[in-house]
Amino acid sequence: MNILKYILFTLCVSAQLLGFVYLFINVKIAVTLILANVVFFIFLIMVFVKERVDEKKEENDDDYRDY
């Protein structure tokens, strides 16, 4: 899961930087890269939410407060 987060984060940052650079060169490519940035960001948020839900489920399984 960590590798997926790193890959998505790298893609998100690179798409954003390239999108702003291409904004001055070619607007169509810039818009495409910025839209790709949004998609990568949504996938990254989904991975974080899934990881948090799994973490909460694991916490609930290891909860021994109700003896």
16-29 pLDDT, tens digit per residue, is 999 999 999 999 99
Mean pLDDT for the stretch of residues 33-55: 92
- Whole-angstrom Cα distance, residue 43 to residue 61? 27
Q: How many CB atoms lie within 10 A of CB 12?
A: 19
- Whole-angstrom Cα distance, residue 57 to residue 63? 10
Q: How many CB atoms lie within 10 A of CB 33?
A: 20
**Residue 12 · residue 41 · CB < 8 Å:** yes
Mean pLDDT for the stretch of residues 43-58: 89
**Residue 15 · residue 36 · CB < 8 Å:** yes
Q: If pLDDT is split at 50, 70 and 90, which confidence band does 58 have? A: confident
